[in-house]
C-alpha cells in the first residue's frame, strides 16, 4: 500500500507539472504581441501610392468613372477615409455635398484635413464605424480598403447599409487576398525603373520604405486572422446578406481586391 500511494503521488505531481506547463504556454501565447499595423506611420508615406502606384491610380479612376454616372449626392460618408484621396475627388466633383469623413487614426485624419482644408462641408469623425451614430442618412457611402481591417466585417456591412437611405449607393473596394510584399516590391520597382530610371526609382523606393513595412504588418495580421481575407464570392455573399443589391463587381488592385458597386435595398 505505501508503494501504491507513492506511485499515485508521483503521477499526481507529474500531472500538476504538466498542467502548470500547459498554463504557462497558454499565458505566453496570450501575452505575445499581436501583429499590428501602425496606420499613423503609414500615413506619412501613404500618398506615394497616389503618385507612383499604377494599381492605386486605377482605383481612383474607377471611382471618378463611378461618380460621373451617378446622380449628385447630397450627403456622402467616407468610412475609413485614410488620407482623404477619395473624398478629395468627391468634393472636387460635388462641392455642395456634405461629407462625413470617418477615420479613427489620428495620423491619417490629419493628412486628410490638410488635403481637404479648402472645403468647409467636410465633417471629420475620429471614431471607428461601430461607435458612430449617423446624424443623417447618406446618398453615397465610400469604403475603400478599410472594411477588411474592421472587427466583425459582416456587422460593419450592416452598419454601412443602415447609414444609407433606401436606394443610396455604396462604392466598396476591399483587400481580400493576403498581401505578397515581395511580389508587390518587384512589380513597383519594375514600373518605377521603366518610368524614371534606376537612380530615381531607388530614391522613391527608399522614401516609401515605411509602406513596405506596414504592408508586412498587414500580411501578418491577415495570416493571424486579425484582418478579414475573402474571395470575391465571399464578399458578395456578405454584402447581399447585409441588405445590398450588387450592381457590378470585379477584381481590382492586381487581383488582391474586390470592387463592388452596390445599392441599398429598399
Domain count, the chain: 2
* pLDDT (tens digit per residue) in 14-27: 444 444 443 443 44
Measuring CA to CA, which residue among 150, 188, 189, 194 is closest to residue 172? 150
Reported confidence tier of residue 264, pLDDT bands at 50, 70, 90 = very high
As a whole number, mean pLDDT of residues 77-105 equals 97
The answer as to whether 194 is a domain residue is no
State how far the Cα of 122 lies from the Cα of 100, in Å rounded to an integer. 6
The rounded percent of the chain whose pLDDT value lies above 70 is: 87
249 or 20: which carries more pLDDT confidence? 249
Interval 218-236: pLDDT, tens: 999 999 999 999 999 999 9
Burial class (CB in 10 A: 0-12, 13-18, 19+), 76: buried
Does any domain span residue 197? no
Mean pLDDT of 51-61: 94
The per-residue pLDDT for range 144-192, each reduced to its tens digit, is 999 999 999 999 999 999 999 999 999 999 999 999 999 999 999 999 9
Whether 140 and 24 map to the same domain: the answer is no
Q: What's the pLDDT score for residue 3?
A: 42
For residues 90 and 174, membership in a common domain is answered with: yes
Taking residues 193-219, what's their average pLDDT? 90
Q: Mean pLDDT, the chain, as a whole number? A: 88
Across the range 186-211, mean pLDDT stands at: 90
Which of 50, 60, 74, 78 shows the shortest CA–CA distance to 208?
A: 50
Instruction: Please check the confidence at residue 89 and state whether its pLDDT lies above 50.
Output: yes
Whether residues 46 and 160 fall in one domain: yes
In a domain, 185, yes or no: no
pLDDT value at residue 56: 95
CATH number of the domain bearing residue 102: 3.40.50.150
Whether 225 and 253 share a structural domain: yes
Phi, psi of 64 (to 5 degrees): -60, -40
Helices (H), the chain: 2-31, 39-45, 48-52, 54-69, 85-93, 106-115, 153-163, 181-207, 209-223, 232-241
Q: How far is the C-alpha of 92 from the C-alpha of 108, rounded, in Å? A: 20
Q: Are 239 and 157 in contact (CB under 8 A)?
A: yes
Q: Which of 60-64, 165-169, 208-212, 239-243 has the lowest mean pLDDT?
A: 208-212
Q: Judge whether 195 lies within some domain.
A: no
Is 99's pLDDT higher than 80?
yes
Residues 160 and 123 in one domain: yes
205 pLDDT band, cuts 50/70/90, is confident
Enumerate the β-bridge partners of residue 105.
Answer: none
List pLDDT tens digits, range 125-145: 999 999 999 999 999 999 999
pLDDT value of position 18: 42
167-184: b (≥16 Cβ within 10 Å) or e: ebbbbbbbbbbebebeeb
Determine which of 22-26, 114-118, 190-194, 200-204 has the lowest per-residue pLDDT on average: 22-26
Range of the domain at 8: 1-32
Q: Residue 133 carries which DSSP code?
A: -
**27 and 45 co-located in one domain:** no
Check whether 30 has a pLDDT greater than 50. no
Question: What residues contact 224, with CB distance under 8 A and at least 6 apart?
Answer: 34, 35
Give the separation between CA 71 and CA 65, rounded to whole angstroms: 12
Amino acid at each position: 500500500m505505501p508503494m501504491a500511494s507513492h506511485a499515485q503521488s508521483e503521477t499526481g505531481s507529474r500531472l500538476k507539472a504538466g498542467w502548470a506547463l500547459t498554463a504557462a504556454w497558454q499565458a505566453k501565447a496570450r501575452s505575445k504581441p499581436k501583429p499590428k499595423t501602425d496606420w499613423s506611420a503609414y500615413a506619412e508615406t501613404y500618398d506615394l501610392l497616389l503618385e507612383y502606384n499604377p494599381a492605386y491610380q486605377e482605383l481612383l479612376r474607377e471611382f471618378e468613372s463611378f461618380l460621373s454616372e451617378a446622380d449628385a449626392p447630397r450627403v456622402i460618408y467616407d468610412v475609413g477615409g485614410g488620407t482623404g484621396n477619395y473624398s478629395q475627388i468627391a468634393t472636387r466633383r460635388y462641392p455642395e455635398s456634405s461629407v462625413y469623413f470617418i477615420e479613427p487614426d489620428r495620423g491619417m485624419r490629419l493628412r486628410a484635413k490638410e488635403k481637404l482644408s479648402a472645403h468647409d462641408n467636410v465633417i471629420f469623425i475620429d471614431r471607428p464605424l461601430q461607435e458612430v451614430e449617423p446624424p443623417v442618412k447618406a446618398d453615397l457611402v465610400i469604403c475603400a480598403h478599410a472594411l477588411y481591417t474592421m472587427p466583425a466585417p459582416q456587422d460593419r456591412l450592416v452598419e454601412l447599409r443602415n447609414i444609407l437611405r433606401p436606394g443610396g449607393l455604396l462604392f466598396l473596394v476591399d483587400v481580400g487576398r493576403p498581401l505578397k510584399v515581395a511580389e508587390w516590391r518587384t512589380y513597383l520597382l519594375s514600373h518605377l525603373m521603366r518610368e524614371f530610371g534606376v537612380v530615381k526609382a531607388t530614391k522613391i523606393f527608399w522614401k516609401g520604405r515605411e509602406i513596405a513595412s506596414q504592408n508586412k504588418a498587414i500580411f501578418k495580421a491577415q495570416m493571424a486572422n486579425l484582418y478579414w481575407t475573402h474571395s470575391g464570392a465571399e464578399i458578395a455573399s456578405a454584402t447581399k446578406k447585409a441588405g445590398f443589391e450588387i450592381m457590378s463587381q470585379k477584381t481590382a488592385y492586381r487581383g488582391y481586391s474586390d470592387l463592388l458597386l452596390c445599392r441599398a435595398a429598399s
